[in-house]
Amino acid sequence: MKVFVSRLIPDTGLQLLKQAGLQTTVWTEDRQITQQELIEQAKQHDALLCMGSDKMDAHFLTQCQHLKVIAQFSVGYDNVDVAVATRLGIPFGNTPDVLSDATADVAFLLMLAVSRKAFFMHKRIISGEWGTYRPTLNLGMELKNKTLGIFGLGRIGMELAKRCRGAYNMNVIYHNRSHNVQAEQELQARKVSFEELLAQSDVLSVHVALSPETEGKFNADVFRKMKPSSIFINTARGKIHQEQDLIQALNEGWIWGAGLDVTNPEPMLPDNPLLSMPNAAVLPHIGSATVQARNDMARLAATNIIAGLHGKRLPHCINPEVYKKDKSISN
């Protein structure tokens, strides 16, 4: 059986596919594969290991409904038409749990960078603007005993909360559909309404999946309700915030700063005003970019592929409903 991999992944995953006796073809060009190219490649293979940037919409899935399994090299799957994949009987896997620490580290890094205007001040050194000591210029914000607000307190949010609580004794509040009992017991976290989250957070960090409910959630109306001294952090998905509204919020002082690992669009254009603002810090979506996290993601994606091609349930499946109609699938 043959597997197509739409991007070069760590050798950990490729070796697992090889050891399972699977013939693997990897897209090695240094550019995003187009959807039509991906369709043409997928039609020649039995399984697909794709990226979160690949558009797995109804058109693609209908064209490639012969695939026995699709495994995605990411946790998020807002690029996938899950209902169509399920209807066509295609099990679809992702890579949860293994990048929580790495992404939480990036959120923590952005919080620190924004609080001390670190990226902007580094650029001043490069441009020869270090200048003389000025006691009243380029002052940052201290984080000790401040309030961390988390929109979506799941695994990544929990890891960020642990870091902030331990390093700066920050109070933790959060907005979820349900209570996070572990966070409440271990970190004295407090569940609040969305309005309270906006009003009370000194740092507000986003850790939710992109959905119709969360897309564009952080817009001008929301930013106006936040503290003028607050910092907004987004390491989830760029479409969760309205970027032009965020720029306006920073320019007009509705909030104090912003740190982003995700933007809309990606890649961000080099003339984006956020890149030159003193109170903004932007990274190129590197939340999972550690050796350990990427190796683990490759392992999970390969494991999903191997299970699917051997007629077994995927260890990490986003559409388990696909198995309800097929009694031949084993555990």
Q: Which residues are catalytic?
A: 237, 266, 285
The string of DSSP codes covering 263-325 is: -SSSSPPTT-GGGG-TTEEE--S-TT-SHHHHHHHHHHHHHHHHHHHTTB--SSBS-GGGGSS
User: Which among 99, 87, 9 is positioned nearest to 48, based on CA atoms?
Assistant: 9
Length, in residues, of the chain: 331
Task: State how far the alpha carbon of 297 is from the alpha carbons of 108, 198, 225, in Å.
Answer: 21, 33, 38
Taking the C-alpha atoms of residue 58 and residue 4, their distance in angstroms, rounded to an integer, is 19
Are 75 and 318 in contact, with CB atoms under 8 Å apart? no
Taking the C-alpha atoms of residue 102 and residue 221, their distance in angstroms, rounded to an integer, is 31
Collapsing DSSP to helix, strand or coil, 149 comes out as: strand
Taking the C-alpha atoms of residue 279 and residue 153, their distance in angstroms, rounded to an integer, is 25
Cα end-to-end distance, the chain, whole Å: 20
> Angle, to 10 degrees, between the axis of helix 291-309 and the axis of helix 11-19?
20
Are 47 and 70 in contact, with CB atoms under 8 Å apart? yes
Side-chain-side CA neighbours of 37 within 13 Å: the count stands at 13
